[in-house]
Chain A
Amino acid sequence: MDDLYRELIIDRYKNPHFRGSLEPHDISFEDDNPLCGDHIRIDLRINGNERVSEVAFDGHGCAISQATADLLAESIVGKSLDEVKQISKQDILDMLGIELGPVRLKCALLSLKVLKAGVYGLGEASDELVEN
């Protein structure tokens, strides 16, 4: 239990740094985790160098899904869109520093799935985006 809810995760769940919305924005995407009803929307502003200048997320769900979204948001500020596309499942797990079973993995990967679907300009998010 202590492993799963590290201080970092609880802290960012209770006091997120990037919760909100951006109007106007350059990219916005949202999706659900059908397994437990988590919902995440991510808004991005992109500067002239194709880099993320501002990011905000909103949504509801478990501590894992929301804290991951906040940490992911923080990690992409200043990154190029190509760099964002390279973020992997393992990057998320490293960021969280915890082991996750297949069910909770879906919670942790929801924000990355939403982010990538938005950056790739896809109509729909797919598990394929976060398979590796």
Chain B
Amino acid sequence: MARPPTQFPQFSSVGDVEKRLSEAGYLPDAQISTTVFLADRLGKPLLVEGPAGTGKTELAKALATATGSELIRLQCYEGLDEARALYEWNYKKQLLRIQASQGTDGADWNTVHDDIFGEEFLLARPLLTAIRRTEPTVLLIDETDKADVEVEGLLLEVLSDFQVTIPELGTVTATRRPMVVLTSNATRELSEALKRRCLYLALDYPSAEREREIVLSRVPDLAPGLAEQLVRTVRALRALELKKSPSISETLDWAQTLLELGLDTLDESAMRSTLGVVLKHASDQVRAAAELRLN
């Protein structure tokens, strides 16, 4: 359990987390603020898992705002490798350097060698950047489940020791450990080893009350009555067995749409004309229309 580089905790209490995240425009519930507080206190990476659009990435962004840190984002995708995640040598520049020194006879092998493997030719990718930073940093590793299994191994190494060994340069150790947030849509099970090193936060759709607050804080011009109606309707939609349940961001889009259209109530006709904002599969729309008696 090596957590070598120390970091001053950013938050003083769970209430503090809640307050500062709210100020950053993210309304956490008890589970979120407790887990974030623990991640900060214990210095462990935070693994946030949940369906798309429940505010996973948003949480990381709000964390960065709340703690005054810079957000460094590593977007995972299939085929992501060390060269994209950690660091890479700038081959082209190195080649140029070699070619430029070919004519001059003063440059012997050793100086060229030392030269082309210097700072100047190193392309730092998100993981290395986050480790080398001296200012407060939030490292967001987004959609970890999309990356290949090998990347998990790399993450394990980086996240447990917060150091990277570059053969030509030596070991780079974090001077200030970044706060790490990993997100996953659970399209595949992440490895036990990775999960074990993280604090696990399962994000689901919020409670009616919290969702209403979110809507009102993000779309402040919306009438509270309409927000209430909207949230209840979205919950009714989520209760149907849809292919893709409406997410929080889609609820917000819907609220914005209603506002733009100047609708003051969500009745059948309003819903029929705006259903495309929340449901994006034809079959889901048909199903919702039938179940909610829109016709």
* A and B are interacting partners: no
